[in-house]
């Protein structure tokens, strides 16, 4: 979702930037930069590039409303929520530099397309690890497939709500005609996230920060 600055008051744009900068600084402080392994860096940078490429395949029916896969759940599971937030910020900046986004509304865009889905994915992961059996299939079907779909729906819901509150479009138009597209896109988001994470945890588990063999496969 490429939010347009003209749709929002200046106070909203400023608040979005301030909150985004605070979140990014907090995330950067929690990353153990000096102890990151080469495999972690490779997975993090590679997944960020893949997310940026996914964003190029988009459809825009109305100004400020773009439909594309998000990839935030996959990046969160691969790199962890802190590095995922930083990676998505870089992807958004690169997208804006290419002319597909606006710098003034970048803060609000990050909150919707990065801050919300990474937080949701991380919360579901913690919930599953604490409340559900330590099972490989719980990780795949709940934390990959389900979290991918829920993240897409959350992004669509938040984006439509933000545009409605700002008066950019009528709420009926957004929720009756635009949000259903996000609901439909939740299924390919879930499928691609689940399939790719399944392949990674089988063939390259060292690339998936949130998957631990000792927890999911060896724990009794």
Q: Total domain count for the chain?
A: 1
Q: Point out which residues pair with 142 in neighbouring strands.
A: none
- Give the structural domain span for 149: 5-216
What is the Cα Rg of the chain in Å? 17
Q: Point out which residues pair with 62 in neighbouring strands.
A: 65
Q: How far apart are the first and last CA of the chain?
A: 43
Phi/psi class of residue 67: alpha, beta or left (left: φ > 0; alpha: ψ in -120 to 50)? beta
- Is 76 a residue whose pLDDT tops 60? yes
Q: H-helix or E-strand containing 73? A: helix 72-79
Percent of the chain whose predicted confidence (pLDDT) is above 90: 80
Looking at residue 63, what is its pLDDT?
Answer: 78
Mean pLDDT, the chain, as a whole number?
92
pLDDT band at residue 1, thresholds of 50, 70 and 90?
Answer: low
Contact present, 151 and 121 (Cβ < 8 Å)? yes
Task: Quote the CA–CA distance of 194 and 177 in Å, as a whole number.
Answer: 28
Which range among 36-50, 92-106, 116-130 shows the weakest confidence by mean pLDDT? Answer: 92-106
- Is 220 a residue whose pLDDT tops 60? no
Closest by alpha carbon to 198, among 186, 217, 184, 211?
A: 211
DSSP assignment of 110-138 = HIIIIIHHHHHHHHHHHHHHHHS---HHH
Looking at residue 219, what is its pLDDT?
Answer: 59
What is the DSSP secondary structure assignment for residue 105, as one 8-state letter? T
The pLDDT tens digits for 106-143 are: 999 999 999 999 999 999 999 999 999 888 899 999 99
The pLDDT tens digits for 142-191 are: 999 999 999 999 999 999 999 999 999 999 999 999 999 999 999 999 99
CATH of the domain at 118: 1.10.1760.20
């Amino acid at each position: 979702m490429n939010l347009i600055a003209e749709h929002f008051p200046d106070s909203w744009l400023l608040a979005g930037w301030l909150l985004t900068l605070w979140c990014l600084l907090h995330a950067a402080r929690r990353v153990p930069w000096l102890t990151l392994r080469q495999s972690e860096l490779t997975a993090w940078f590679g997944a960020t590039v893949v997310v940026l490429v996914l964003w190029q395949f988009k459809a825009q029916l109305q100004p400020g409303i773009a439909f594309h896969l998000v990839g935030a759940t996959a990046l969160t599971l691969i790199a962890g929520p802190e590095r995922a937030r930083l990676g998505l910020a870089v992807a958004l900046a690169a997208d804006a530099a290419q002319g597909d986004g606006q710098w003034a509304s970048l803060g609000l865009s990050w909150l919707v397309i990065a801050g919300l889905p990474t937080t949701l994915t991380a919360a579901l992961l913690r919930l599953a690890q604490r409340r559900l059996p330590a099972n490989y299939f719980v990780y795949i079907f709940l934390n990959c497939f389900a979290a991918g779909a829920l993240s897409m729906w959350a992004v669509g819901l938040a984006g439509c709500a933000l545009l409605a509150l700002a008066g950019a479009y009528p709420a009926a138009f957004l929720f009756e005609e635009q949000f259903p597209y996000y609901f439909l896109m939740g299924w390919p988001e879930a499928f691609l996230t689940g399939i790719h994470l399944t392949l990674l945890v089988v063939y390259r588990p060292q690339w998936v920060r949130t998957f631990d063999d000792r927890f999911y496969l060896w724990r009794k």
